[in-house]
Structure 1
Amino acid sequence: MNFWQFKFNSEYWTNWENIQLGEIEEWQSPKTINKEPNNISINDIVFIYRGSTKVRRGIYFVAKVLNVDFTDKYPIKLKIVKDLRENIFVPENFGFEKVVKKINDLNQNGTYYKFSQNENPKGMYDLIINNKKSIKGVRKKYTKEELTKLANEVFKIYIDKYNKNENLQYSIVQPSNNKKIIHTTASKIPMSNGTAENYSERLFNLWNKLNNFDIHNGLEDCPKLLEEVGIEVFDKKYFLKENILNLITVEKVLEEELKKSKKDTKENRLNRLNDKDKKPPKIEVVSTQYKRNSDVIIEVLERANGTCEKCKNPAPFIRKKDKTPYLEVHHIIRLADNGNDTVENAIAVCPNCHRELHYA
């Protein structure tokens, strides 16, 4: 039995978003690969590794090869035997640094890699599937001083994201420089990058809880000493008041809840609906707005002359208050991405096209 890693980045991940334990997924070699995996056989084990920088890197699924037929469009059939989305397995955290380096060195979308026996893929498999202890899997015990050093840096990131109205669900995304800060701190402790990222995400959960923010990234609670340090580092004065969320985080949390609800059974959804209060709770939201230039808005609307500049259809209705065609002004390069508030950087669009430009 051989062990393989299939690495997927965002554009090849669609089929895996809603897959369930025990289901079968078919794997097609993407266009970036000119050959199929050599010597892959029935009953081989495949670790499905996600390599996008927008999400946590690590193993999301373990699958067993059911069928191999390279004459077929989808030559490899995989059965999901372990779903790790709720607790993503980061091999580096358990001493498999060489494995992680080799995986991350594969920069193409949808690449694959066959593990050698001296990389101990069986030990990694046992650790994931059977919860067996591995010699490589013994975690270092960090001192309070070391954890405080990490927590102080991560708390600076948390405050910065809060003040910039950014998503408070994850520490290592948006901006990507946060990951560099965490890695630099880890090197001074010393601590593996994977462990530092994992602890940072757990600290975010802890601080969201202390702030009474209903935000969670799916990771387990902090270990006891890390929790103690996180509580000591946390300072309430940096936050306006309890139950205040920024708008981006509210939308992100709803998006995550929608995914979970979609994966669940209809029976469970209906049971929850029967138990839920029919009136939704109220929360206060902090939102950062840009002061728009009214001259830009008027010039763009006059240029459009009642016609959507994307789909070229007439405005969908007339405004009641001033009898003008209803169009919305959209910035081609978002103001949040340092775009200019100018006529040249803006178009007038109908509401449907405006939603498409933001969400499609």
Structure 2
Amino acid sequence: MFKIGQIYNRRSEIHDIYKGQQYGGISTPIKYPYIFIFTSNAGEKYGYVDKFSPNGTFQYTGEGQENDMRMTKGNLAIHDHQKNNKEILLFESTSKSFVRFLGKCNYLSHHIEERPDRNGKARNAIIFHLDIINTQTILTTQIIKTNVVEEPKAIYIAGPTKRDSLQQLRDIALSSTPIQASIEEKLLSIRNRSNAIKLYAKKRANGICEGCSGKAPFQTKSGPYLEVHHLTRIADGGADQPQNVIALCPTCHRKAHYSLEYLEFNNELVRKVNIIEANIDQ
């Protein structure tokens, strides 16, 4: 099956095997219990803006190029995937014909938002709120990948605080969203995971930039100032795992995003986090 962080040829490694629609954002194979969804920056000018929300859920724009989107076809497949025993598999575009597997998703809710259609005409778009279930460790830029499996921990209802130990923050970050729970409880669980991973990275760094090994540039009321960088997506955001976040000084953080050698630098950050986490686990 698909491995988180690995890059696949959409046509030969997905559709030639599982069938389903080869174009568009949602593919629903008939003979397999999967729904493939694809996200790309290319559709933003047509109103397809997919992103992490502050609460850690992934907002995914439904299908329908013109007029109001309706809860039919691929949109309905996402909405009813649990009832129909289908798994939602999320991929992001990396280059022409190639996509990276980000993980399995669960539908939580959706809202209607005014977005332009492909003709620039305002219409109602369906925005799905998805919980990305990353139970498999991701360590990847466009070059480095690893496939170490790590089981999720029990759910924590109480929110994380900076007073929690490194292990307590790790456990919250790796907790599972409760299946039999209200939407509010599920969102609370996701938000706790998202907050826990940020606190975890900063506590692990202990005031030292994990990129350049320099001291945090200044102190704040909450402690040394470091910024959390996610190694799994182009833009920071969303819940993640301990091996996929790093605490950086502002200079290193900007270098990871905007420097000419950003890819090489992120590969180096992946290597450093791998070593740091290996030493913690000992």
TM-score range, shorter-chain basis? under 0.3
Structure with greater strand share of residues: 2
TM-score (norm 2): 0.27
User: TM-score under structure 1 normalisation?
Assistant: 0.22
Larger Rg: 1
Determine which structure has greater relative contact order: mean sequence separation of CA pairs < 8 Å that are 6+ residues apart, divided by chain length: 2
